[in-house]
Amino acid sequence: MTTIVPPIKCQGIKTKIVPMIKESVPQPVQGRWIEPFCGSCVVALNVKPERALLTDTNAHIIALYKGIRDGTITPEIVRSFLTSEGEKLSQLGEKHYYEVRKRFNETHNSLDFLFLNRACFNGVMRFNQKGNFNVPFCRKTDRFRQAYITKIVNQIIDFKRVLYGRDWQFEVLDFRKTLARAGTDDFVYADPPYAGRHVDYFNSWDAHDEQDMIHLLKRLPCKFLLSTWHSNVFRENKSVQVHWQESTFFIKTAEHFYHVGPTEELRNAMMEALISNYDMPGMDGIPAQKLAVPLQQMLFI
């Protein structure tokens, strides 16, 4: 089946490996689908759980998706807005981009957020310490051609279609409080900022956050699936080796190439790791400690 693409871009988006993630989720999810780092929501959009708690500390993502769910942001409104702003961008160039960026940082308008997300440099979502969006212009004044606008509008339509008839809650919430809500029948999918890589997350991500998340995941009363980076040609994620080698955890890996990122270094091929506290489909009962393959070997398997 075709993967549903969300209307916003962000670093680490899992569009390319959604099929692997979907096949790794036990079906059906009896309780709620819980995501403490929902980001673009690409995984939830494709798994399509009946009930979901989707949280993030980025209030702008949550506001946009709440607007789509509640009908205050419609495909028609998005088309009209992007057409109008796109014409101004074509006429005024980067001056208009920076005017919109200034306006957004003052008003936090969701349509401005969508415009900036699709007109900024390399689709990067980055905020400074004051919480202001600070990504520069992509330098494409003709960015919002009608075909591109239609593509975004169709993504809004797809998002709305998935939401129809489903009980999805969107909340601005710290991951600690989100995980505290998980019950025995729920399922947690965690896709946190990558330790040591996405340091420009909305309100940062450090070793303390990573440790807290690992501790809370291990203590969950329900099943969970953690998505993180395993390694690339330059280095490996020590956290996988240190924290997830117990026989009660399982790991799948797959190569993943990122097309969104501020530098070439962040757009290299990456080995993605899916870590669970249950035997994932296709694992045949192989625990994590049996999959601890040295980096030098793994890259040539």
Share of the chain above pLDDT 90, in %: 70
Q: What's the fold here for domain 69-160?
A: Adenine-specific Methyltransferase; domain 2 (1.10.1020)
Reference 53, options 31, 74, 22, 84; nearest CA is 31
Q: What is the mean pLDDT of the segment spanning 285-301?
A: 42
Q: Distance between CA atoms of 34 and 191, rounded to whole angstroms?
A: 11
Q: 3-class SS at 40? A: coil
Residue 275's beta-bridge partner residues? 226, 251
25 vs 260, residue with greater confidence: 25
DSSP symbols for 126-140:
-B-TTS-B-PPB-S-
- Identify the architecture of domain 15-57+173-298 in CATH: 3-Layer(aba) Sandwich (3.40)
Confidence of residue 301 (pLDDT cuts 50, 70, 90): very low
% the chain with pLDDT above 70? 86
Give 270's pLDDT tier (boundaries 50, 70, 90). Answer: confident
Question: Are the beta carbons of 18 and 42 closer than 8 angstroms?
Answer: yes
- Which residues in 108-232 belong to E strands, given as ranges? 167-172, 187-190, 223-231
Work out the average pLDDT over 68-78.
98
Task: Supply the pLDDT for residue 202.
Answer: 61
Contact 1, 42 (CB under 8 A): no
Question: Whole-number mean pLDDT of the chain?
Answer: 88
pLDDT in tens, 192-250: 987 655 444 466 788 899 999 999 999 999 999 999 988 877 788 888 888 998 889 99
Question: Which pLDDT score, from 0 to 100, does residue 159 have?
Answer: 98
Q: Which residue has the higher pLDDT, 20 or 231?
A: 20
Closest by Cα among 33, 46, 71, 49 to 156: 71
Rounded to whole angstroms, the Cα distance separating 100 from 86 reads: 11
- Give the residue with greater pLDDT, 63 vs 245: 63
**pLDDT reported for residue 12:** 76
Q: Which residue would you say has higher pLDDT here, 197 or 63? A: 63
Pair of tokens at residue 32:
């709620």
What is the pLDDT at residue 122? 87
Higher confidence at residue 273 or residue 287? 273
Query: Exposed/middle/buried for 69, CB within 10 Å: 0-12, 13-18, 19+?
Result: middle
Q: Could you tell me which residue, 236 or 301, shows the higher pLDDT?
A: 236
Domain ranges of the chain: 15-57+173-298, 69-160
Is the pLDDT at 294 greater than 50, yes or no? no
15-57+173-298 and 69-160 in the same fold: no
Taking a C-beta distance cutoff of 8 angstroms, is the pair 59, 158 a contact?
no
Residues 12 and 229: their CA atoms lie apart, in Å, by 10
